[in-house]
Amino acid sequence: MRTIKLATFGITALLGAQPIAASAPALSPDQQRFFGLYKELVETNTTLSAGSCTQAADQIATRLKAAGFADADITQFSVPDHPKDGGLVAILPGSDQKLKPMLLLGHLDVVEAKREDWVRDPFKLTEEDGYYYARGTVDDKAMSAIWADSLIRFKTAGYKPKRTIKLALTCGEETTFAWNGAQWLANNRPDLIAAEFVLNEGGGGRLDAQGKREVLAVQVGEKAAQNYTFAATNPGGHSSQPVPDNAIYELADAVEAVRAYEFPVKFTDTTRAFFAATAKAVPGAMGSAITRLLANPADAAADKIVSQDKTFHSTLRTTCVATLLNAGHAENALPQRATANINCRIFPGETVDATLARLEELAGPKVKVSINPPVRPTAIPTPLDPRILGPATTLAAKHFPGVPVVPLMSTGATDGIFFQAIGMPVYGVPGIFIDSDFSGIHGLNERIRVKSLYDGRAYLYDLIKVYAG
């Protein structure tokens, strides 16, 4: 998951923070049924190293069938060489065939978690001080459980949507080199998941340190993640006779060139709307600089001020950064090979090949630059569609009164990019609030406030019904 992480500077100051109760009330019978699904999903290990998304998908399929879904409405999928990386697609048919379906997307896999590093067992759901703790309590099993639970509630209540509702729960989102179920569906079963739009992770809400609601974000677009390798090679030799031609030095010069380079400032409709709102909310030099940059993206002085905030900096452009280094073969020998991994987050509309060309210019003739598989699709700017943003904002005013809703482009990446590549716009929906420290997502002691989970469930259930007609 690449959920919202809003900037320190003041988009959160659009309106005053709204309080959220510190302790959660007792669960209703309906919420208790959801909790059973959520707990089972969270406690099913779905890490790449030791878990099974296929098992998690089986468990959800069983619950869907118990609610009345026919076998024909549920497709479970995997491939022979990745039997534990399976997923499922479920379909609740709509009554109006003129309306194109909508797709609810979630991923079942989670980031690795070592028991010895955690305060609590990462694969046992623990409730403590108003929080649920475990790996995946947020990313992405909160949303995946809410999507599945919503379909179960619709089916058992006899709800007949006008628009067909599809659900895709996949594996492989959290690990670049893993088999990816979302990509497999887009490439091999586009008919199964075809939809007018996709609702995904990536949006959400932020709480301040006191647990007050600050802001809700709708993710509208994202960057594409792509890794490249810089490699410098040399015949080497005895370290007692050094020469200027050294693979480590050549690599270091190339990496330094990447560090010093800034890709040009660009805007999508989403980022322009985000920065326009931010400029009005942020006083002083920062707000003034944002206004100047919106008027002239080539204003280097304004860019320097705005880019002091790392979130703003990344939202404005493609970024590339060195993340791994490997060099030499012996402590008493000149290096024969030195490599670096350069991780790029490519701005919508810019391509993997064009970014490669720029990196080759920076690296110089002595360092070879190559694209690391897998190669992700070009990120496509997502439209600020009022048919999507309007209902999300209106409903948020009912569920979370006084909390502003802003469009946001993710500087990370989700599986949504594979659906965008086949013409399906993807929106990261708001509703689930997390703490300002990112709630331990991808780190230690991942957690979600109990009240945030059930409030988000109520909002997203209503949001699906609005979109489904």
What are the pLDDT tens digits along the chain (469 aa)? 544 555 544 455 454 555 555 555 689 999 999 999 999 999 999 999 999 999 999 999 999 999 999 999 999 999 999 999 999 999 999 999 999 999 999 999 999 999 999 999 999 999 999 999 999 999 999 999 999 999 999 999 999 999 999 999 999 999 988 999 999 999 999 999 999 999 999 999 999 988 999 999 999 999 999 999 999 999 999 999 999 999 999 999 999 999 999 999 999 999 999 999 999 988 899 999 999 999 999 999 999 999 999 999 999 999 999 999 999 999 999 999 999 999 999 999 999 999 999 999 999 999 999 999 999 999 999 999 999 999 999 999 999 999 999 999 999 889 999 999 999 999 999 999 999 888 999 999 999 999 999 999 999 999 999 999 9
Residue 384 lies in a domain: yes
Burial of 383 (0-12, 13-18, 19+ CB in 10 A): middle
Rounded to whole angstroms, the Cα distance separating 317 from 320 reads 10
Residue 5 lies in a domain: no
Residue 1 lies in a domain: no
Residue 153 lies in a domain: yes
Last residue of a domain, one of 309, 342, 371: 371
CATH number of domain containing 360: 3.30.70.360
Residues 332 and 234 in one domain: yes
Burial of 289 (0-12, 13-18, 19+ CB in 10 A): buried
- Residues 299, 301, 305: CA angle, nearest 5 degrees: 115
CB 450 within 8 A of CB 130: yes
Residues 83 and 123 in one domain: yes
Determine the pLDDT at residue 94.
98
Residues 217 and 348 in one domain: no
Residue 450 lies in a domain: yes
Last residue of a domain, one of 371, 395, 427: 371
How many other C-beta atoms are found inside a 10 Å radius of the C-beta of residue 40? 17
Q: How many domains in the chain?
A: 2
Residues 193 and 310 in one domain: no
Query: Residue for token digits 């089972």?
Result: 40
Tokens of 28: 């209703």
Domain boundaries, position 142: 11-222+379-467
Residues 283 and 423 in one domain: no
Burial of 334 (0-12, 13-18, 19+ CB in 10 A): buried
Quickly list H helices, 11-77: 29-43, 53-66
pTM of the model: 0.91
Residue 295 lies in a domain: yes
Could you give the dihedral angle defined by the CA atoms of residues 348, 353, 356 and 357, in that order, rounded to the nearest 10 degrees? -110
Residue 61 lies in a domain: yes
Give the residue among 272, 266, 225, 224 at the shortest CA–CA distance from 384: 272
Residues 446 and 418 in one domain: yes
Residues 175 and 61 in one domain: yes
Residues in the chain: 469
Determine the pLDDT at residue 176.
87
Residues 36 and 165 in one domain: yes
Last residue of a domain, one of 329, 347, 371: 371
